[in-house]
Amino acid sequence: MTEPRWQWAAAGVVAGGSGLATSWLAADALHVRASPVVAVAEWVIRHVPGGLAESAIQHLGHRDKPVLVGVILVVLAIVFAVLGLLGRRRWWPPVLGFLVLAAIGGFAVGAEKAEGSGAQIAVVVGLLTWVGAFGIVTEPLRMEPAGDRRAVLRLGLVAAAGVIVAVVAPYAGRGRRAVEAAREALRLTEVTPPVVPAGADLGLAQPWLTPAGSFYRVDTTISPPSVDPDGWRLRIHGMVDKPLTLTFADLLARQRTEAWITLNCVSNPVGGDLIGNAWWSGVLVRSLLAEAGVREGADAVLQTSADGWTCGTPLTALTDERNALLAVAMNGKALPIDHGFPVRTIVPGLYGYVSACKWVVDLEVTTMDKAVGYWIPLGWAAQGPVKLASRIDRPGSGDVVPAGDYTLAGVAWQQETGIAKVEVSVDGGPWVECDLGTAPDTETWVQWKAVVSLKSGHHSAQVRAVNRAGEVQTAVRTSEAPDGATGWHRVDFEAS
């Protein structure tokens, strides 16, 4: 008898895939944010070296997390096929393999501190499915000739059942849908719609206001936390005289502030788009820290997200005159879930990795040596002030533009310092001062434009900014790590 090797491999893949589907269904039904596969992927993200994480962001952008999950699924499919082949001779190797995979999944979901026992139940459900499904699809293979119709039929039926479970799984959990419904039902008083200041948007390139759907998103979670505003709590503790625990209603009862604030990711390369400008509404952090009473000697706040992510923020950035907010609204509406609903932190002048905590649930007043956030052990600097930068948005590299008078345009920024002047140089020629759009204060980016004369042919353009302290943007190119990229942005284009 010729042994059906492909059927054994297929049996392993079908059983393994069915187990992943049932664990996903169980996780959603139990309102677990991270299914075992997602938990493993997030564990990898948290422990990958900083340089590798930076490379993934640069090359894959927002696709980095789906690609990682896809790689994990491909690896699992190979492992399942191997376990199926090992089951041809003895029953115990695939069972042992399934146990090892379950242990890995259990460890990963255990690292998700906010998930509770439901995540482990999902792992057990997946393990039982693996073992049971493998026994069902391999029973005919152990008793009948190769290619037996019953073996093929069982493989098909179990595979179909696994696909059905996978299709149903996203609809089983009501967590995100319930939170989205609660978000839509919110009526946030004292939140006004955004009105772009006169003269701020020059109308030539990227809009001065970044819509929520276009706002960059860089975080370490694959499945964003779905936090019910009624169950949300913020704990302010540590080196304070009066620890506070606030509900969402408590926070909304405080006096609120609204401001235009530009956020910038430390992973933004020269000329990159990991930056956005929005109208934020929320409560000043300094008012809450004053209410708690910060003790002498404290110089930092360790922020913690609902998904366990942390960042250490200098206390001065949260207590000086800047608009450091616990934000509840973005562009006149409640925060989108992916951007931190119900509450996130916004701190002008600092890169997000040391300040912008989405789904924030804990503020521990402490010292900088103890406020070691997620990214610091991975090689990033403990302090992250935003550097002076500028970008050309019009034209883009590779564009073909009309010869003659042409308007270059873009943005420049250095929050909390402000932009005094922007200059452009075409084809290595003299620097030409640009016209600047208006800005309400130093916490936002500034648009610029300059009319230049272009002959037909190839051209290049560079831009540099000068801040209000008189500092000229450096031409020296540095990488994003450990504390932000530097250098002049250049574009190459054609005129005809």
Cα dist from 23 to 20, 36, 127, 128, 486, whole Å: 5, 7, 8, 10, 45
Cα–chain-centroid distance for residue 489? Answer: 25
Residue with tokens 């152990």: 142
Polymer length in residues for the chain: 496
Cα dist from 273 to 32, 358, 469, 475, whole Å: 33, 20, 25, 19
For 381, other C-beta atoms within 10 Å of its C-beta total: 16
pTM to 2 decimal places: 0.73
Structure confidence by residue, pLDDT tens digits, 163-198: 888 887 776 555 677 888 889 889 898 899 999 999
Give the angle 415-417-420 at the CA atoms, nearest 5°: 105
For residue 404, which amino acid is it? G
Contact assessment for residue 41 and residue 65, using Cβ atoms and an 8 Å cutoff: yes
Give the angle 143-147-151 at the CA atoms, nearest 5°: 55
For residue 490, which amino acid is it? R
> What does the pLDDT read at residue 62?
61
| DSSP assignments along 296-309, one per residue | TT--EEEEEETTS-
> What does the pLDDT read at residue 56?
65
Give the angle 323-325-326 at the CA atoms, nearest 5°: 175
The DSSP bridge partners found for residue 302 are: 312, 364
Structure confidence by residue, pLDDT tens digits, 353-407: 999 999 999 999 999 999 999 999 989 999 999 999 999 999 999 999 999 999 9
| DSSP assignments along 265-320, one per residue | -TTPPTT---EEEEEEEEEEHHHHHHHH-BPTT--EEEEEETTS-EEEEEHHHHHS
Fold of the domain spanning 212-378: Sulfite Oxidase; Chain A, domain 2 (3.90.420)
> What does the pLDDT read at residue 256?
94
Look at strands 432-433 and 389-394 and give their pairing. unpaired
> What does the pLDDT read at residue 68?
83
Find, among 239, 190, 23, 268, the residue nearest to 121 by Cα. 23
Segments in 173-284 forming alpha helices (H)? 175-185, 248-253
For residue 321, which amino acid is it? E
Strands (E), 49-119: none
Burial class (CB within 10 angstroms; exposed 0-12, middle 13-18, buried 19+) of 447: buried
Positions of the chain with pLDDT under 70: 1-3, 30-34, 50-63, 112-118, 144-148, 171-175, 222
Average pLDDT, the chain: 90
Q: Which tokens belong to 256?
A: 């609120």
Handedness of CA 375, 377, 382, 388 (dihedral sign): negative
**What is the CATH number that goes with domain 389-495?**
2.60.40.650
Structure confidence by residue, pLDDT tens digits, 450-483: 999 999 999 999 999 999 999 999 999 999 999 9
Q: Residue ranges per domain, the chain?
A: 5-173, 212-378, 389-495
pLDDT over 90, % of the chain: 64
The span from the CA of 118 to the CA of 109, in Å, is: 10
The SS3 call for residue 463 is: strand
The DSSP bridge partners found for residue 15 are: none
